[in-house]
Structure formats: structure tokens, C-alpha cells
Amino acid sequence: MALLDVGKRIKTLAQWMDESKRLVVFTGAGISTESGLPDFRGPDGIWTRKAKGLPTQWPDLSLAEPNPSHMAIAELQKLGKLNFLISQNIDNLHLKSGIRPELLAELHGNVTKLRCSRCGAQVDKSTGLDTCSCGGKLEHSVVNFGQSLPQKDLSDSYHHSQNCDLFIVVGSSLVVTPAADMPRIALESGARLVIINKGETPYDPVAHLRFEEQIGDVLPPTIAQLKELMEQPHT
Ligand code: ZN
């Protein structure tokens, strides 16, 4: 099947966003490579190196800034159109872009946060605390291979995937479970599935709309069109 011209696909996506009542966005490393960050699970990614027992060093993520695609998702929130954001990224760029913490699940943790091993509360590393107000020990929130994912983030993600009408994948190849289950859950609930990713995903044959283009060439112009649509009187 030949893909429609990108302008037409962007127009369709903007219309679907306008129609959507419960929009969920799912992001992976692809959105942050445009901020100059490495893909952590790539061939020389930090997780790949850890899994091989090679020495690793965290890149200095405090220098990274949200790019226009992160800002486009924050704009969706401003427009009242973002129901929930699920991210595989640990780089803190969604929070830095202004996403409200209650709308965000970080499935793999966040490099700037500690998590209480007893109650699950998150605390900024910059506080210097090592004990939670509940008395539990504060530990790094980043999830390594083989460790279980944060329970609340995971259950919120399943809940919102099941209850959305539009599920937009941004920069993930959708191969790591359980994150990779979420598009299927959304589809089974009758949602439209949109994938913006360079490179194949297992969901390509069932996606309602597919972008192979750079994320930065898709999301910002789509949100600009959505704003125009929302300004028009609806009948
Ligand atoms: Zn606690």
C-alpha cells in the first residue's frame, strides 16, 4: 500500500486529534534522539552495555532540553487534548517540557528521581534525602533489565490504553514488553492507532496511520493544524 503524501497524513492526524475525547501518547527513545540523546537500548546504549557487563556511564542528562516534539505534546496538554502520556524514557524531558506529573507514566523511571522502596513515592534527587517521609529507603527510580516496573505507572498505563480512543506511538519500535502490549490493548478497545517511528514496528500492518518521517517533521505541524481546527466553530 502506497503511503499518502505526508501533508495529507498530518491533516488526518490533526482531525483525529480534534475528534478524540481520550487521547493517549506513548513515547520511546526516538523522540529524544532529536534532543541529541542516545538510544539507551541501541547497540551501544547504556542498557545494552549493562546487560553485557561492560562499564557504563550516565550521559549528563541535565544538559538536555526538550525539543519541538516534546513541546508539541506539552501543547496538546495546554489544549486540553492530552488524556495521558506513557513514556519509556528516563530523561526527564517530558516533565521539563511542562507535562503535569499526574498525566505521565514513566515506565522505566527517571534519572532525576528517587523512589521509595516502601510506598513508591518519588522524590527529586536534588533534595539530597535518602529516607522517605514514610520511613522507607529512597532508591534510584531507573529500572534496569530484569527489575520489575513501577506498579502505579504500569497500572495507570494499562488503564489509559484500555480507555482511549486515539493511541499515538512516538519514537518507539514497540518491541519491549509490557510496554509493547499497550497498542494492542488500545486497538482491542476500538481506538485508532497512529505510529510515528523511523523503522519497523510489529504493529505497522494494523496501524490506522503510519509515519516514517522524522518526529520533528510530523508532531509540531500536526499540533499547529489541530489548533486551527479547534479555533473553528464546531457544528
Ligand atoms: Zn515512602
* Average pLDDT by stretches of 10, the chain with 235 residues: 82 98 96 78 69 73 88 98 96 96 95 92 92 95 85 95 98 87 96 96 96 96 97 75
User: What confidence score (pLDDT) does residue 129 get?
Assistant: 94
| Beta strands across the sheet bearing 122-124 | 122-124, 113-116, 138-140
Question: Helices (H), strands (E): how many in the chain?
Answer: 8, 9
The H or E element spanning position 193 is strand 192-196
Q: 165 alpha carbon to ligand 1 midpoint, in Å?
A: 35
The total of other beta-carbon atoms located within 10 Å of residue 20's CB is: 20
Q: 24 alpha carbon to ligand 1 midpoint, in Å?
A: 29
3-state helix, strand, coil in the chain (%, to 5): 40, 15, 45
Q: 56 alpha carbon to ligand 1 midpoint, in Å?
A: 29
The total of other beta-carbon atoms located within 10 Å of residue 36's CB is: 11
List residues with catalytic annotation.
108
User: What confidence score (pLDDT) does residue 58 get?
Assistant: 63
How far apart are alpha carbons 9 and 211 in whole angstroms? 8
User: What confidence score (pLDDT) does residue 232 get?
Assistant: 85
Would you state the cell numbers that stand for residue 180, as one nine-digit string?
509493547
User: What confidence score (pLDDT) does residue 1 get?
Assistant: 46
User: What confidence score (pLDDT) does residue 235 get?
Assistant: 60
How far apart are alpha carbons 69 and 182 in whole angstroms? 21
Evaluate the omega torsion of the peptide bond into residue 59 and state whether it is cis, within 30 degrees of 0.
Answer: no
How far apart are alpha carbons 216 and 54 in whole angstroms? 33
